[in-house]
């Protein structure tokens, strides 16, 4: 797919050299109109769900699909103003159609249409995909050079990976994407440092430490996606570094020895199975976590003047009454579900026999029991009171 998107982009640059935004239009029209929008509009056709979709959900999916399509069209538009045909979509358009989101979509289109072919990128302007400070280990281009760690500013474009002493300095080293054979995590025991990964080239490997695990994953994922079309990609690599004349993983003393571990593969099988019960539980947890906020707004609507949060100036009396009714209903349903949870936990705590096969004795079980007993004491009301509340 990356090759197809790349060919589309190259054709657009060849036939419309004066309108470089066309390269985004051909890709966004392909992927948004042919993939994303139909999947959002008809999730059952794409096996995203097996449940029947009601009218309200279908309407919501339609609005989301329209927004995605408009955003895909907007990245290639030369106009800075988006025409909003429906008044009710105006607020959503203001939130979505920002320069930040437009640049993010363009970067996404650059990533999915990038390949590391040195023969075809000469006439293309490089696009910056990611940048930031990281610590790298000297590559040892000199035989007797000292291999220490230094902080450098890295930049990844659609052409190469480079690093310099600071953001606006000239690059000290540029690695063409076609020269990157693999990107893998580095075992922590190599240098006793966390969040390290290696950029493997033919002659040597560049060892890099990211600032945190999130940055490490982002760099590895992005570099892997960009370089996955390389024809000379490795199938095996060394998970540890070459230190003191030998590989720390397989103890081989040949620096050019083949790898001892298989490289990571990209999982192309998308796991799209949904769990509605788990998602509903998440929604319930969010509501219970913000119950104080909901209560204060309800009290404000009832005249208690307790609520101190933001309130849109354009809200009408009818909207306020509708919001009040909805919040009251949400609160009652949340209380009802929470009472059922408490009854279930009490029943489970009462019927569980610790020391049996179902609940063997262990530290984890004792901790679980203490937490459950603590929850029971906090509840205050008896099982019969909760049952009466449920019946009401």
Q: What tens-digit pLDDT sequence spans the chain (392 residues)? A: 777 888 888 888 888 877 777 888 888 888 888 888 888 888 888 777 777 888 888 888 888 888 888 877 777 765 555 566 677 777 777 787 788 888 888 888 888 877 766 555 555 677 788 999 999 986 555 544 456 889 999 999 888 899 999 888 999 999 988 889 999 999 988 888 899 999 998 888 899 999 898 899 999 988 988 888 787 888 899 999 888 888 888 988 888 888 898 988 766 555 555 677 878 888 988 999 889 888 888 888 877 554 455 555 555 556 777 888 899 999 999 999 999 989 988 888 888 777 676 666 654 554 555 555 545 454 444 444 444 444 44
Distance in angstroms (rounded) separating the CA atoms of residues 392 and 389 = 5
Half-sphere exposure of 306 (CA within 13 A, CB side): 12
Provide Rg for the chain, Cα atoms.
29
The 10 Å CB-count burial string (b at 16+, else e) for 329-363 is eeeeebeeebbeebbeebeeeeeeeeeeeeeeeee
Alpha-carbon distance of 48 to 44, in angstroms, equals: 6
10 Å CB burial of residue 80 (0-12, 13-18, 19+) is: exposed
Do 255 and 241 touch, CB atoms closer than 8 A?
Answer: no
Q: Which two tokens stand for residue 307?
A: 């609520």
**Could you tell me which of 215, 220, 213 has the C-alpha nearest to residue 197?**
220
Residue 233 · residue 199 · CB < 8 Å: no
The reported pLDDT for the residue numbered 134 is 94
**Residue showing tokens 């298989």:** 262
Q: Which two tokens stand for residue 201?
A: 């080239």
Q: Report CA-CA distances (Å) from 376 to 92, 353, 365, 379, 384.
A: 44, 17, 16, 5, 14
Q: What is the DSSP letter of 195?
A: S
The pLDDT of residue 90 is 77
**pLDDT at 230 (0 to 100):** 80
Helix or strand holding residue 21 (H, E): none
Q: How far apart are CA 98 and CA 101, in angstroms?
A: 5
DSSP code at position 87: G
Listed in sequence order, the residues at least 6 apart from 387 whose beta carbon sits closer than 8 Å to its beta carbon are: 343
User: What is the predicted pLDDT for the residue at 89?
Assistant: 74
Cβ-Cβ contacts under 8 Å for 126 (sequence gap 6 or more): 157, 158, 159, 160
Q: Which two tokens stand for residue 126?
A: 């490089």
**Domains with residue ranges and CATH for the chain:** 2-112 (1.10.506.10), 128-262 (2.30.29.30), 288-307+315-391 (no CATH)
What pTM did the predictor assign?
0.52
Helical (H) or strand (E) element with 389: helix 383-391
Instruction: Give the HSE-up count for residue 81: Cα atoms under 13 Å, Cβ half-sphere.
Output: 3
Are 305 and 312 contacting, i.e. CB atoms less than 8 angstroms apart? Answer: no
134: exposed, middle or buried (Cβ count in 10 Å: 0-12, 13-18, 19+): buried
Q: How far is CA 224 from the centre of its chain?
A: 16
In this prediction, residue 162 carries a pLDDT of 93
Which pLDDT value is given to residue 183? 93
Query: Hey, is 109 helix, strand or coil?
Result: helix
| Contact predicate 129/157, CB 8 Å | yes
The two beta strands, 196-200 and 236-237, are unpaired
Angle at 273 between CA 270 and CA 274, to 5 degrees: 130
> Cα 153–143–203 angle (5° rounding)?
65
Alpha-carbon gap, residue 146 to 149, rounded angstroms: 10
What is the pLDDT, as a whole number, of residue 69? 81
Locate the DSSP E strands across 32-190: 128-137, 149-157, 160-164, 173-176, 182-185
Residue 173 backbone phi and psi in degrees, to 5: -155, 140
């Amino acid at each position: 797919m990356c090759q197809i998107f790349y060919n589309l982009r190259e054709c657009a640059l060849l036939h419309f050299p004066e309108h470089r935004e066309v390269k985004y239009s051909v890709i966004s029209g392909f992927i948004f109109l042919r993939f994303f929008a139909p999947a959002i509009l008809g999730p059952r056709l794409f096996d995203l769900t097996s449940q029947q979709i009601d009218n309200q959900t279908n309407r919501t999916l339609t609005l989301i699909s329209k927004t995605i399509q408009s955003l895909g069209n907007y990245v290639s538009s030369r106009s800075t103003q988006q025409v909003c045909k429906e008044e009710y979509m105006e607020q959503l358009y203001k939130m979505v159609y920002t320069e930040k989101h437009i640049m993010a979509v363009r970067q996404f289109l650059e990533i999915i249409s990038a390949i590391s072919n040195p023969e075809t990128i000469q006439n293309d302007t490089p696009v910056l995909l990611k940048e930031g400070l990281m610590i790298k280990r000297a590559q040892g281009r000199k035989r007797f050079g000292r291999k220490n760690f230094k902080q450098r500013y890295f930049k990844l474009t659609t052409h190469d990976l480079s690093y310099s002493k600071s953001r606006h300095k000239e690059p000290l080293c540029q690695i063409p994407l076609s020269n990157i054979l693999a990107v893998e995590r580095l075992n922590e025991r190599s240098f006793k440092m966390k969040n390290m990964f290696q950029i493997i080239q033919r002659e040597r490997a560049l060892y890099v430490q990211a600032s945190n695990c999130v940055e490490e994953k982002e760099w590895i994922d992005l570099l892997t996606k960009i370089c996955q079309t390389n024809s000379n990609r490795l199938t095996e690599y060394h998970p540890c570094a070459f230190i003191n004349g030998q590989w720390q993983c397989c103890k081989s003393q040949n620096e050019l020895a083949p790898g001892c571990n298989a490289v990571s593969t990209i999982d192309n099988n998308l796991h799209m199975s949904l769990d509605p019960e788990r998602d509903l539980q998440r929604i319930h947890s969010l509501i219970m976590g913000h119950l104080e906020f909901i209560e204060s707004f309800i009290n404000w609507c009832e005249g208690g003047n307790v609520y101190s949060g933001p309130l849109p100036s354009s809200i009408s009396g009818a909207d306020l009454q509708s919001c009040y009714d909805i919040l009251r209903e949400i609160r009652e349903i949340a209380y009802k579900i929470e009472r059922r949870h408490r009854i279930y936990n009490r029943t489970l705590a009462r019927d569980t026999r610790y020391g049996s096969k179902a609940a063997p004795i262990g530290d984890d079980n004792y901790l679980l029991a203490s937490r459950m007993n603590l929850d029971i004491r906090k509840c205050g009301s008896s099982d019969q009171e909760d049952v009466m509340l449920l019946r009401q």
